[in-house]
Amino acid sequence: MSVLRDAVVDVDETGRIAHVGPLADAPATAAPVQRVTGLLMPGLVNTHAHTPLTVLRGKGGDLPLMRWLTEVVWPAEAKLGPADVRDGMLAGTAEMLRGGVTTSTEMYFQNENVVEAVLAIGSRVVLTPGIITAPGMERFGTWQQMRDAITRWIDADGLRSGPAERIELGYGPHSAYTLPTEAIVSTAALAKERGALLHMHVAEAPGEDDAVRAEYGSVPAMMEATGSLGGRVLAAHAIQLSDDDVAILARHDVAVAHCPGSNAKLAAGVARLTDLRAAGVRTGLGTDSPASNDDLDLWEEQRLASLFARQRGADATALTAAGALAMATREGARALGRDDLGVLAPGAWADMAHVRVDDAAFVDPDDDDQLISNLVWASGSRGVRDVWVAGEPVLADGAPTRVDPAEVLAGARRVAAKVRM
């Protein structure tokens, strides 16, 4: 987590970084120059979210996972139409941009509206449309129809599309408790054929996958036994894991999206983060749903991940500030199989956040170690002032540049009132 002083980032006409280095070594340019004080850093990468659920924030907030899903979330989601999904995604993405999050990994439905919102506000998304069998979801078709619709979309548009490749497509089989094993196996095969990300909830809470455990031992064991691993696989949560499960994830290079805030709120458990990282498992941070967290603040997730890891192992060095920041940036990107996000490096997309340091959170910004510590532990999202995606300003002085914040809020509140009725 190196710090460059008095540095320059050059962005080419495609929106990628062409050069990073000290000002004294920067190549001459006739291009416009924007000077900022404070800290310029990679945009954060949210590795697991259901952002349109911003409109359900606070509903059933004191229930455990399965009751929260079956009694509150799924019935409310059944009322959401295309415009509702767009408005929820706009509101949540605006919130993420204000916290410096430039990429989110989404599992949701009616996904053309998710894409519409992302392209409108200018962020970046790794979109894994949900595949599920659950009450109220029948309107989207069978799991086979959901799966095949994703395949047609990828085959028509490619894995990446949109301005500056802002949209990446993958597959989102929800979980082993909402799908038959056949659905996961067949979806994994299609994802591997296309080099697409397979994004799935794995071992989130006790009791959710008892049937799979009775037959195979665990969800990771089932996926290994059925040949569903070996591609780009992202396991969301991954809390209820045995030593054998950790070994399976490491053996097949499965990545994990660690969501400590949502997991704690739903009392789902504390993931074995230190053990996963020690085994070489790629780990990123996720907010999960803004209806279960209840925010989209990836800085808060950095702090919680570090606190829980330290408490679990009674080790104050279990996850350092620099390590947590890496999980929110370059390691989160690696968990998605992306080396062009989460870093300030030539060839990467110029997705960047500007953080002010003229704040009491930064007591000695001239000291590198203290700068990073203060950034993670004290400043967090409140210090983010400006954000660029592919070199384009999408947040300026704390406000989205492409959408009207008042209209975005009004849209989200319209949907929330509709769902309440």
The pLDDT tens digits for 333-372 are 999 999 999 999 999 999 999 999 999 999 999 999 999 9
Separation of alpha carbons 334 and 284, rounded Å:
8
| Two tokens, residue 56 | 């359900």
8 Å CB contact between 148 and 140: no
Give the single-character DSSP code of 26: P
Three-state DSSP at 212 gives: helix
Quick: pLDDT tens for 259-296.
999 999 999 999 999 999 999 999 999 999 998 899 99
Separation of alpha carbons 230 and 208, rounded Å:
24
Separation of alpha carbons 100 and 53, rounded Å:
20
Backbone angles phi, psi at 106, to 5 degrees: -110, 140
pLDDT score for 421: 59
8 Å CB contact between 87 and 411: yes
CA-CA-CA-CA torsion sign (301, 62, 210, 290): negative
8 Å CB contact between 104 and 125: yes
Quick: pLDDT tens for 39-80.
999 999 999 999 999 999 988 878 888 888 888 888 888 889
Q: What is the pTM of this model?
A: 0.97
Q: Is the pLDDT of residue 252 over 90?
A: yes
